[in-house]
Amino acid sequence: MCASGGVTRSTLRQQIADALRDEVLAGRLRPGREFTVKQIAEQYGVSATPVREALFDLSAQGLLTSDQHRGFQVREFTIADYRSMVEARSLVVEGIFRSPGDQVATRDDAMASIRRRAAEAVRAAKGGDLDVLIGYDLRFWRELGAFVMNPYIMGFLAKLRVQAWVFAVHRLRGDEDNGNWLWFGHEELVEAIARGDRDQVHATMRSYYAHALAWADRLAEEEAREKAPAAEPAPEEPCA
C-alpha cells in the first residue's frame, strides 16, 4: 500500500485504517495482538504519520487500545462486553422502529439494495462463510441505518456492530458448530420494515437478540468449565 500519484495523506490514513480493520474482522489480527507504528509503517511501506493517525482512529472506534510505551494492541472484548453491546443495540433499535413509518424512510431504490445485502448475508450465514457474511452484514446494517434520520444513532450502531464482530469472529472460527450460532433473519427484518409492520420488526429483533445472548451464555459456560480446577483423583484402595 505505497503512496503514489494523487493519493493524499488523508486517503492513505483511511486506507491503512480500513486494511487493519479488515485484518481484525477477519480474525487475522487476534485480540491481544501488539504492534507499533513502526512495524505497521514498514509492513505497508509508508511513513509513520498516516499510520499513527490510522491507529488512533481505530482506537477511537474502540478496536485498539494504546500504551505510550508498548504501542497498540487489538482490544479484547469480554463476554460481559458483548452482552452490553447486545443490550445497547436492542434498546436503540427498538426505539428507532417503534413506529417504522415515521422513523425510517423506506425508499424503493434503497430497499432494493438492502434486500440484496440481506439475501447475500443469509446465503453466507447458512453456508458458514464468515468472511462473506461479515462484509455483507456490516453493509446491510449500515444501509439500513442510513434510513434513520439521526447521524449520531447511525454512527453508534455501526460502531457497536463492528465491535460485536471483533468479539465474535475468532470464537466462531474456532467452533465447529458455528453454523448454529449465525443469525440469518436479515430478509425477514427487511420485509417487516418495508411493510411498516412494527410488531414483526420487534419480534424479529427480539429473536435476534435472544439468539445472541444464548450464544453468550454458552460461551460463559465453556469459559467457566475451562477455569474450573481439575478434580483430584480418587485415592487408591490399600491392598488387602
Give the homologous superfamily in CATH for domain 79-217: GntR ligand-binding domain-like (1.20.120.530)
Encode pLDDT of 188-225 as tens digits: 999 988 888 888 988 999 999 999 999 999 999 999 99
The predicted structure's pLDDT at residue 239:
53
Q: What are the angstrom distances between the C-alpha of 51 and each of 9, 42, 102?
A: 10, 10, 42
- May I ask the CATH class of domain 9-74? mainly alpha
Q: Tell me the C-alpha distance between 82 and 98, whole Å.
A: 24
**What is the rounded distance in angstroms from the CA atom of residue 132 to the CA atom of residue 179?**
14
pLDDT at 198: 85
Helix (H, G, I), strand (E, B) or coil at 73: strand
Q: What is the per-residue pLDDT across 81-92, written as a single tens digit (0 to 9) for each?
A: 999 999 999 988
First vs last C-alpha separation in the chain: 77
Predicted pLDDT at 60: 92
Q: What are the residue ranges in the chain where pLDDT is below 70? A: 1-10, 98-108, 148-149, 230-240
Give residue 230's pLDDT.
Answer: 62
Q: Name every residue whose Cβ is closer than 8 Å to that of residue 18 and which is 6 or more positions away in sequence.
A: none
pLDDT at 210: 94
Which residues are registered as beta bridge partners of 65? Answer: 73
How far apart are alpha carbons 58 and 21 in whole angstroms?
8
The pLDDT assigned to 7 comes to 42
Query: What is the residue extent of each domain of the chain?
Result: 9-74, 79-217
pTM score, whole prediction: 0.83
